[in-house]
Each structure stands twice: as structure tokens, then as C-alpha cells.
Amino acid sequence: MSGVMLYNYDLDENCYKVRIALSMIGIKHGTVAVNAYPGKEHLSPPLLALNPAGSLPILKDGQLTMSGAEAILAHLANAHDAGATWLPGSRTDFARVMQWLVFASSELSVAVAARAYALFGAPGDEKVLRRSARKALRIMDDHMTARGFEGIQWFATDKPTIADIALFPSFALSRDFGVDHDEYPALRRWARRFREIPGFLTMPGIPDYH
């Protein structure tokens, strides 16, 4: 199969990250709808053959098959963004972007789990998930507060990168598991700016940030 194909579940925030990247970078692609809830189609033999970990999103780009949202974002920026806008080439900026991609896939993953618990009945300890998610969001808000004092509006560099794409969904969708966005004013300001980037896509659960 040639071209870019995303195996997607519309309410999955990791799939949402990839949809945003595809749109903002301007990559032509196809989409395969996956009935993750309640159908658990991501655990079916055909999709396990593509990703034995049984998670979404899955991306096919020509002969390459990938899983893991942050790895997919890095690949899309590296392979399809000729201007290196979304994944800068300088060593310092590249390292900063990668640091936040790792944060999105590690510390911030509890926010994904907290939302999955609240919406889909996924397993987990509700109190622990919410507490850990709020801690991760506090780290993000403190960082963007400090960046504001420096006159910088984005997480990794002075321009939006795939780091911002990787981080946006977990904050924007955190009201699904009871987070009050007024507690994170720096993230609210950042989220409003993020929504103004050409190619922005929304999804159910994303507030308008008036």
C-alpha cells in the first residue's frame, strides 16, 4: 500500500494528536476507522498483526508501519515537513522537542489513562490517576508561566512544534475527567494560541477557550 494511512478512533486522544499533525503539516492521507470502544477492534487479529501492542494510533506510510503517537509525530515531521518547521534541526531545539515528546508519552500518559477510565471504563485507580494527571499538568503550566516571562509562547522553541501537538490533547480534553482549566491559566493562554494555528482540528470534548 502506498501513501499515508491512519488507523483511527475518533475519540482517542493519541489518534487526535496524529490527526492534528497530518492537518497542520499538510499531509495527504487516508483513514481507516477502528471501532475501539465498545468494539475493541484494535485487539482483533488483523490490527494486532500491524501493532502487537494492541494500541492506537497505527500509521502506514508506504512500506513503513508505525505505532506510538509521539514516534509517529516525529516521523511525519521528519519525512514530510521539508522546511523542518515542526521538528527543528538545531541540536538544542531538537533536544527540547524530544524532551517534551518523552514527557507526553510518560508523565502525561496518566491523563490519557484518567480520561479512558472516566469515559470508557478502562481499568485504573481513579484518585491516583487524577492526582497524577494534575501533577503533570501543573508541570506544564509552570513551564509555560516561565516561558511567558521570557516572552516565548511555545513549549520547546519560539515557534510551535510537534511538542505542542503532543501536549495539547491531554490538557484540552482533561475536563472529561474533572479538571478545571481555570487552575492552569498559562495552559489556557497557550491552548488559545494553539487553536489559531492553520490546520487546527477540534474534536468532541475540546472547549472553545473564550
**Do residues 187 and 101 share a domain?**
yes
Question: Which pLDDT band, with edges at 50, 70 and 90, does 2 fall under?
Answer: low
100: Cβ contacts below 8 Å, ≥ 6 apart: 155, 156, 163, 166, 167
- 14-29 average pLDDT score: 98
**Do residues 120 and 50 share a domain?**
no
Count of domains forming the chain: 2
Asked which of 49, 80, 111 is the last residue of a domain, the reply is: 80
What is the model's pTM?
A: 0.96
**Do residues 54 and 101 share a domain?**
no
Do 145 and 164 form a contact (C-beta atoms < 8 A)? no
pLDDT digits (tens, 9 = 90+) for 94-148: 999 999 999 999 999 999 999 999 999 999 999 999 999 999 999 999 999 999 9
CATH number where 105 lies = 1.20.1050.10
End-to-end CA distance of the chain: 43
Range of the domain at 127: 91-195
**Do residues 31 and 106 share a domain?**
no
